[in-house]
Amino acid sequence: MTDGKRLRVAIAGAGGRMGQTLIEATLQSRDLVLGAALDVADSPMIGRDPAERMGQSSGIEVASDPDAALRDVDVLIDFTRPEGTLAHVEACVRHGVGVVIGNQNDRAAWGRRWIVRHKTGTSRSLSGQGRSQ
């Protein structure tokens, strides 16, 4: 699924501040290519180019169906609410896609936690460690 040596990335939460930051970083990277962008079904970003706020064109549209979005990517980066994250992780498992989760919703008892799930099925929690992880 990689584009040459470039990792194909899907960004969940594409309409949010962190989603937009991740999209911009992905577009600027030489090692990554934006393969999909996800947001909630009622987002005003649905059907729009996720890079338009940056004055760029990515050639894709923001969608709400994780199963469709994950068919041609290597990894999903998720910065959504816990309910969305759980649905995205399940879709990643179904499609054999790696997932990186950044969620800081203390009210949902997630706390400050980063989880990395590898295609091998192993996962590692970096709870309480710095954001640079």
**Is residue 126 very low, low, confident or very high in pLDDT (cuts 50, 70, 90)?**
very low
Amino acid letter at 94?
R
Nearest Cα to Cα of residue 116 among 76, 87, 82, 86:
76
| Summary mean pLDDT of the chain | 80
Per-residue pLDDT at 75 exceeds 90: yes
29 token code pair: 């990277």
> At the top level of CATH, which class does the domain 7-125 belong to?
alpha beta
pLDDT at 109: 43
pLDDT in tens, 21-65: 999 999 999 999 999 999 999 999 999 999 999 999 999 999 999
Query: Domain residues of the chain, as ranges?
Result: 7-125
Residue 84: count of CB within 10 angstroms of its CB: 19
- Out of 3-12, 26-35, 111-120, give the one with best mean pLDDT: 26-35
Whole-model pTM: value is 0.77
